[in-house]
Amino acid sequence: MARDTSQEISEYERKRQETIAKNQALLRELALTASEAGLAPAKRKRASSPSSASRKTKKAEPKPKKEIPIATRTSSRLRGIVADSEVARQKAEEEREIQQAVERAKRQRVSEDLNFRDVLVSGQHWNGSGNFLTAVGPAEPYRRTFTAQDVKQTSDKDLRALRERMSNLQIWENVEPSRIKMTQERIYAMGLHPTTDKALVFAGDKMGNLGIFDSSQLKEDNSGKNAEDDEDDDWKPLVTILKPHTRTITSMQFSFTDASILYTSSYDSSLRRLDLQKGQAVEVYAPKDLSEDAPLSGVQVAENDANRLYFATLEGAFGIHDVRSPSHEAEIYQLSEKKIGGFSLHPLQPHFVATASLDRTLKLWDLRKITGKKGDRMPALLGEHESRLSVSHAAFNCAGQVATTSYDDTVKIHDFSDCTGWDIGKELKPEQMKPKTVIPHNNQTGRWVTM
């Protein structure tokens, strides 16, 4: 008797039908998605018959409010846009503008006062009591630049005492330094708290994060385990990370009169005062217009006047702001046509300012003499020295010496120790501006080392 083949389906036919069913389900899902996004083709209206005009028009019912559809990413194919068309170009331009607007919003300066708990990125909350735990060549780590024999042979008493003190310093033993992640991005500025009770390290990164690390913490403080416990190999030190700025933190300095106050400058055009006792970050200076972009490259406080902040910008300007005046007011002097990467006040004679610029110069200024008309006023330029390449930073010491770093792979030492007897606005000869010592140093290691 012949078999009824209609009751039997081959394996191939069964798989084919399953594939057809899946494809139909996928098409229905795509059609539903396009309809929800308002992208489905409009239905054709049926032509009205002549007799319909004579019919009595019904009272139109109020149309429901049309909700604004949420923008979704949809392919050009589903939207019926032909590749390489003008419509496709406009669509790409619109998406690019939206993305740029989002990025601008992320970098927009925030003017209001910030509480540390609101800008906490990671780690534990800051506790106001100070316990915030509730030459050229490849680098050679741990290699000392002088030996015990060098210390014995040092004839200068002060230098010998310094070398002895430096020889007693040790690497933090609780964990490998490479495992201490201070911030989430590249560090641009670092500082040590002036307290003698514990070594607190502060680091500001590319995205405006501020990492705070207490080197006095021990393993048993956080884990409850013995420091020699083999099971505690994964222990990591606690680091509190805050976000007081929306862009790169370029420099920081503690107040000379209050160790709980830290001033920071940023590419978001603002200076902030962080009060470690109150747990607040207050904006003390910024342009009046929130949209004005005036990135700051540094900040300093004079030892003899805690109310005056000095800052520099990427546009070559130098500013002085009195914290008792409105936050947008400052004396601005245009000292360079290019970026001032770093500057420094003489610790004992703060009217002397050294600036390092992208125009390859070190310049020395006297703030006691300001000349020019309003809008074009300038402090007296005492002298300048030009390097082969950009000068990235200049730092004064108490003896009146200035150390500079430059992209010509040198560290230069300039000696202005006789500045205490200078007349106001004294002009220095080129020989006086030349460095006394030039030290070879690889300032371009290719390892993203910030100078």
Distance CA 441, CA 449 (A): 13
pLDDT of residue 111: 65
What confidence score (pLDDT) does residue 159 get? 87
How far, in Å, CA of 308 to CA of 321, rounded? 6
Structure confidence at residue 140 (pLDDT)? 54
**Amino acid sitting at position 383:** G
Strand bridging mode 210-214 / 331-334: unpaired
Q: Which residues contact 256 (CB under 8 A, 6 or more apart)?
A: 301, 303, 306
Inter-residue long-range contacts of 303-306, CB under 8 Å, 24+ positions, other chains counted: 303/256, 303/347, 303/348, 303/350, 304/350, 305/350, 306/255, 306/256, 306/257, 306/258
Identify the segments of the chain with pLDDT beneath 50: 1-3, 5-6, 47, 49-58, 66, 68, 71, 131-139, 224-230, 448-451
220: left (phi over 0), alpha (psi -120 to 50) or beta: alpha
Task: Report pLDDT for 262.
Answer: 94
Residues 299 and 269 sit within 8 Å (Cβ to Cβ): no
Q: What is the pTM of this model?
A: 0.65
pLDDT tens-digit readout, 395-411: 999 999 999 999 888 99
Compute the chain's Rg from CA coordinates: 33
Q: How far out from the chain centre does Cα 6 lie?
A: 74
Query: Is 166 in a helix, a strand, or coil?
Result: helix
Q: What is the DSSP string of 366-380?
A: EEEEEESSTTS-EEE
In this structure, the number of other CB atoms found within 10 A of the CB of residue 30 comes to 11
- pLDDT for 412: 95
Q: Return the structure tokens found at 15.
A: 């798989």
CA distance 91 to 314: 35
Residue written as tokens 């002085």? 320
In the three-class reduction of DSSP (H, G, I as helix; E, B as strand; rest coil), residue 230 is classed as: helix
Pure H helices in 172-231: 219-223
Q: Tokens representing 265? A: 């400058």
d(CA 337, CA 358): 9
